[in-house]
Structure 1
Amino acid sequence: MSVVCPAPSAASEDARLGALLRYDVMDTPAEQSFDRITRLAQKMFRASFVTVSLLDGHRQWFKSKQGLSFSETPRSEAFCDVTIRQATPLVVPDARADPAYASLPLVTGEPFIRFYAGAPLRTPEGYILGALCVMDREPRSLSAEEIDMLVDLSDIVVGQLQLRQLADTDPLTGALSRRAFRDLAARELSLSRRYRRELALLTFDLDYFKSINDTHGHAAGDDVLVRSVDACKAELRNSDSIARLGGEEFAVLLPHTGAAAARDVAERLRRALGAQSFGSGRGRFHISASFGVASTRAGASDLDNLLRRADEALYRAKAKGRDRCETAPDCLPGQTQRSVAKRGRIVVEGVPAIDCTVRGLSNNGANLEVLSAEGLPASFVLALDADGPTRSCRVLSRAGRRLEVAFG
């Protein structure tokens, strides 16, 4: 029978989340280097399901997966939440017969997991980001030699995480990688503050991209991504930079550019993307994109704030019907936040506490990420374990799964 370990201290959990943030891997596209490992593990252990699971403050997200149709779960429902706490391989021979796991939704419902084994993904500094997991629908066990093999594979996963930090370009599109873009943008933002120059950032998302993959196939989807980057590069200056942030999400950095000029660039890129024509065996099709625009004049004090405001504008564009551009408004006094990575809990009377990850924090408010913002009330209590007292919050804006809240 398994023993569930106590939760880590708030300080140690915040340090772990900070390490995960530095690897900048959450919500990134699938990569062959990780998929090869999970495919190999599936064959080695004859497993129904294999995942590279990473845990932030409120969810478990799969960088790579075999046999599963979904990409994330609430952290509270994850076997891996125990794995990262005990910091050693966790083996559950029969989850249905184990009181610690028998009621988990992944056990009682699809995919009806009975067997779980997970090896922690431990960084050289000792932080555990998640686990390499093998799972089955039937009860089973692992020998000591097999557990050692799983640990060896988890070490290879961590090695790949370190290698991807060094990559400068996205292997599919040739756009900048997230890491390279963040480095470049941080330098440009520092220069813009020092010399009081304007700087703008665009984020854009290809509309209904999943339906393109579903209807026309992944080869056509890859063609859309490659040609979309090429179409944008043809419209940008040599001093501008484009990066792939996620599956179909991109960012464009515009030095020496104010909000109005950046909006014009976004409209030009939107038209260029919409003018393209694609085809597959299922016929011809066109694409569209939604854009968010933010600038240093909108009150952003660092890169994460600038990205957050551009993303909020992007979500407004999507909410208003997509295929459009929206500009981030100026910050209200006292809203400028420092970027953080903290675990929190949203407390609403009469319902269980909701896990969240705090991405930005100031004396006056916070930026939160949840699995779903749908149904959350306009006011609630936020508990930040590392910061002591709870704080009353009112919602200022909602953008997808993100919430901007004011304290008091």
Structure 2
Amino acid sequence: MQLAYSNDRLASRMPADPSAAGEAEVESSVIEWLLHDDQVMRECFTHAAEILKSVTGAAITAIVLLDEEHQHYRAEVGMAMPLVSRARSLADYAVRDDELFVIEDAHRDTRFNDCMLVQRHPFVRFYAALALRAPHGEIVGALCAMDPQPGRLDDGQRGVFHHLRAMIENDLKMRTATAIDPLTQLYNRRFLLESIARRWKEARDGDVMGSVVVDVDWFKQYNDTYGHQAGDHCLRRVASVMQAAADNERIVAGRMGGEEFGLLVLDAHPAVLEHTLETLRRGVAELAIEHRASPLGVVTVSIGAALTRITELSRPAHRDGFASADRALYSSKHNGRNRVTMA
């Protein structure tokens, strides 16, 4: 394949879109992590895109991450790719099965009449992509190569796609093991604290960050009454409510240890945050997990939250936000538990 571009460079990340027919979608927290929080995976993506370009000769190679609405580009080689919605992307077709997806000339295929990459610069004609999966099997995105000229792949080039996918998915599996709490599937304490520090540092002046601490009420008594295996099951169910909140809002959620959880809320607004946290509190109570050692009869959570507007003075002080949230949590506990207190 004789291809045109020579101005190789890595480009900025873009938003992406995911929903493969019949496939379980990856949790948005994993996409957030891959987009913003892991340097090791960024380097893995870069190496894969560079190798793929060298082997295929394609003008552009990239890793594409998919969420529900958008297509996010990572580690593009060849040019910076424009923002594309998932509904108008080629990757949305590519992730519908596990086979290598190849279009030799998109201009001759009416399926792609509305595809932005085909109809606008870089006017893609050749496109090849292979779906990428998270450790539990959910679709994360795709490894792709594209070119403004028609093209095809030989057997050796097709094999490289599969070898690179195995490399990426293996690295993702190992990195997930170091970032995720195995019991709750939320971020673990170390990774949560690293993410909080990084997001706080990257925030712009004037942004408002929400620091939240969540504690399961009378959890020691729950373990004493029902046993540690039941306690683990309880924490998993509580964490699922927290993950649902994180998926619906711009929230980074993790387990701080034991029965305590931490949330960082990006672009927080007081009324919205309080509503979100009340929904979380009610969601846990509505699980209706029996708790005979609680005066409330079911498992509940107490929540403390604080808001910080980012300035030059507050930028290094992410710990202060969580210290305020911790004091608010103490107030929730002191005033009867099963409540939200805003500092």
TM-score by length of 1: 0.45
Map 1:313-352 to 2 at 5 A: 314-315=266-267, 329-331=273-275, 335-336=279-280
- Structure 1: how far apart are the matches of 2:31 and 2:267? 25
Residue 141 of structure 1 is matched in structure 2 by 152
| Aligned with 1:64 (options 75, 78, 87) | 75
* Residue pair 1:292, 1:310 contacting (<8 A) in 2 also: no
* Residue pair 2:31, 2:65 contacting (<8 A) in 1 also: no
Point out where structure 1 has 5 or more consecutive residues left out of the alignment.
1-5, 169-178, 187-240, 252-269, 274-286, 318-325, 340-408
Point out where structure 2 has 5 or more consecutive residues left out of the alignment.
1-18, 217-237, 253-263, 285-343
Residue 98 of structure 1 is matched in structure 2 by 109
CA RMSD of aligned residues (A): 4.3
Alignment of 1:17 with 2:29, yes or no, is no
Aligned residues: 223
Residue 127 of structure 2 is matched in structure 1 by 116
- Structure 1: how far apart are the matches of 2:108 and 2:283? 46
Residue 27 of structure 1 is matched in structure 2 by 35
Alignment of 1:243 with 2:254, yes or no, is no
Q: Hey, which of these two has a bigger chunk of strand by percent?
A: 1
- Structure 2: how far apart are the matches of 1:87 and 1:182? 28
Structure 1 residues 108-163: Cα deviation after superposition (integer angstroms, max 9, x where no partner): 10121111011222456544322110111111111122111112112211122123
Alpha-carbon offset, residue 102 of structure 1:
3.5
Change (3 A) 1:66 1:245: farther
Q: Hey, which of these two has a bigger chunk of helix by percent?
A: 2
- Structure 1: how far apart are the matches of 2:172 and 2:207? 30
Q: 2:79 aligns to what SS in structure 1? A: coil
Deviation above 6 Å: which 4+ runs of structure 1? 309-313
Alignment of 1:8 with 2:16, yes or no, is no
Letter in 2 for 1:28: H
Alignment of 1:152 with 2:163, yes or no, is yes
Alignment of 1:184 with 2:189, yes or no, is yes
Change (3 A) 1:58 1:245: farther
Higher RCO (Cα < 8 Å, 6 or more apart)? 2
* Residue pair 1:28, 1:245 contacting (<8 A) in 2 also: no
- Structure 1: how far apart are the matches of 2:93 and 2:215? 42
| Aligned with 1:50 (options 51, 61, 64) | 61
- Structure 1: how far apart are the matches of 2:276 and 2:55? 56
Change (3 A) 1:103 1:310: closer
- Structure 2: how far apart are the matches of 1:105 and 1:41? 23
Structure 1 residues 304-350: Cα deviation after superposition (integer angstroms, max 9, x where no partner): 44794768974257xxxxxxxx79653389633769xxxxxxxxxxx
* Residue pair 2:210, 2:268 contacting (<8 A) in 1 also: no
Residue 208 of structure 2 is matched in structure 1 by 291
Structure 1 residues 377-401: Cα deviation after superposition (integer angstroms, max 9, x where no partner): xxxxxxxxxxxxxxxxxxxxxxxxx
